[in-house]
A = this chain, B = another copy of it.
């Protein structure tokens, strides 16, 4: 009990010390502005209309593809129309990977049937020839790493690792298994295997495969790697554990890397009223995988970032610091856009007071991930009463988006929108990532939440 009293008195003292800053952490005027902004966003946002054009008129847009350049033109045009003071493109060299025709057949000798499959990104494929080999199954990357090469030599490895459904946060689940996709080809190569099939990193019980970036650790490795959907993986595992004949796969894929190409980040600015040389960045990535429409990943983040600028314009609020809306290129298979932006910021000695990304889907908001000093996190937490109406209550997590990471690594305070995570890996990197999977109100609530946070940061940070 004595300890409790001591702790309590200490807390009391701290509270008194924080008195001046604590009571000044926001004003009634802030509260009223945020309320007006919320109303405006929920009734007049153009974010969903923007997303419709990006998804339906341009579609998917892998870096280096003709569509990705159309998306650049679209972004320039939309930012201009949204009222940015300046809009420009920032050159970025990006890898060009093309899928081409591909198929996968599985079955026992003499009877292999086609199943839905997608080559993993950045992989080489089979040069259009069929690679046929018996399958060997592993249940984890550790099991694969520990396996004797003799078991794998000449075989196609089936990595049958289920999504960790027990993780209540699906991004935590993803972080436990994404290396299945990125690293398996390298490990299988090193042990003499001739191909890789992975169970998609997906929360849905269907046959839909999910692609995503993979890499070869050395140039000698060129084996094909494909993903299959959860129900296909279940059927394949069953056939391998109960069937009588050897289960064999036939892989054919034309996919390959085709060097580098010139592409662009797209940047729009709303000049600050007081500190025009200090920047608040809000962004998403313009590229997507070459399936679906890149609606949640990350069309949603792009249109939300544009909507922040529109909200400020519509409410005639010129921020003190310059707002930069950045649509990055090549998050999916290289992160060259994020790196190019950070390089430029360093070389131009640009001062960013904060950078925020929305790249976890256009779902209803829950929190803001932050990589900032503790005192700044506490200040964001002090704004909770203003942010909770937008669904934002969780300010404990660490994190910023992939595109923002290089800038964060230069010491810039960074963060990310944390929407509800339950549905994200239903649609991630697959043909389900289309406009129809985005809910307009959820998307707008995210845009409003980001606007609210940036408004407060603009008012109270330097």
For window 136-176 of A, CB contacts with B under 8 Å fall at 165-168, 170
A101 to chain B, nearest CB (A): 31
Question: Would you call A43 an interface residue if the criterion is a C-beta within 8 Å of the partner chain's C-beta atoms?
Answer: yes
A167 vs B448: C-alpha distance when bound (angstroms): 12
Q: Which residue of B lies closest to A423 (CB)?
A: B439
Question: Would you call A235 an interface residue if the criterion is a C-beta within 8 Å of the partner chain's C-beta atoms?
Answer: no
Interface centre among A5, A8, A19, A205 (most CB of B within 10 A): A8
Given contacts A8-B15, A39-B166, A423 and B445 within 8 Å (CB-CB): no
Given contacts A422-B439, A422-B441, A393 and B393 within 8 Å (CB-CB): yes
A439 to chain B, nearest CB (A): 5
Given contacts A1-B19, A42-B168, A389-B168, A423 and B441 within 8 Å (CB-CB): yes
Question: Would you call A426 an interface residue if the criterion is a C-beta within 8 Å of the partner chain's C-beta atoms?
Answer: yes
Question: Would you call A9 an interface residue if the criterion is a C-beta within 8 Å of the partner chain's C-beta atoms?
Answer: yes
A459 vs B39: C-alpha distance when bound (angstroms): 43
Question: Would you call A16 an interface residue if the criterion is a C-beta within 8 Å of the partner chain's C-beta atoms?
Answer: yes
What 1/0 flags go to A406-422 for Cβ under 8 Å of B? 00000000000000101
What 1/0 flags go to A285-325 for Cβ under 8 Å of B? 00000000000000000000000000000000000000000
- Residues on B with beta carbons closer than 8 Å to the beta carbon of A390: 168
Q: At the interface, is chain A mostly helix, strand, loop or mixed?
A: helix
A190 to chain B, nearest CB (A): 33
A325 vs B182: C-alpha distance when bound (angstroms): 46
- Residues on B with beta carbons closer than 8 Å to the beta carbon of A441: 165, 170, 203, 422-423
Q: Which residue of B lies closest to A422 (CB)?
A: B441
A4 vs B203: C-alpha distance when bound (angstroms): 51
- Residues on B with beta carbons closer than 8 Å to the beta carbon of A364: 364, 420, 422
- Residues on B with beta carbons closer than 8 Å to the beta carbon of A423: 439, 441-442
Question: Would you call A102 an interface residue if the criterion is a C-beta within 8 Å of the partner chain's C-beta atoms?
Answer: no
What 1/0 flags go to A42-56 for Cβ under 8 Å of B? 110000000000000
A5 vs B445: C-alpha distance when bound (angstroms): 39
Question: Would you call A30 an interface residue if the criterion is a C-beta within 8 Å of the partner chain's C-beta atoms?
Answer: no
Question: Would you call A64 an interface residue if the criterion is a C-beta within 8 Å of the partner chain's C-beta atoms?
Answer: no
Given contacts A420-B420, A423-B439, A165 and B42 within 8 Å (CB-CB): yes
A15 vs B9: C-alpha distance when bound (angstroms): 11
Question: Would you call A401 an interface residue if the criterion is a C-beta within 8 Å of the partner chain's C-beta atoms?
Answer: no
B394 and A38 within 8 A (CB): no
- Residues on B with beta carbons closer than 8 Å to the beta carbon of A273: none
Nearest first, the 5 closest Cβ-Cβ pairs linking A and B are: A39-B166, A422-B441, A8-B12, A422-B442, A42-B166
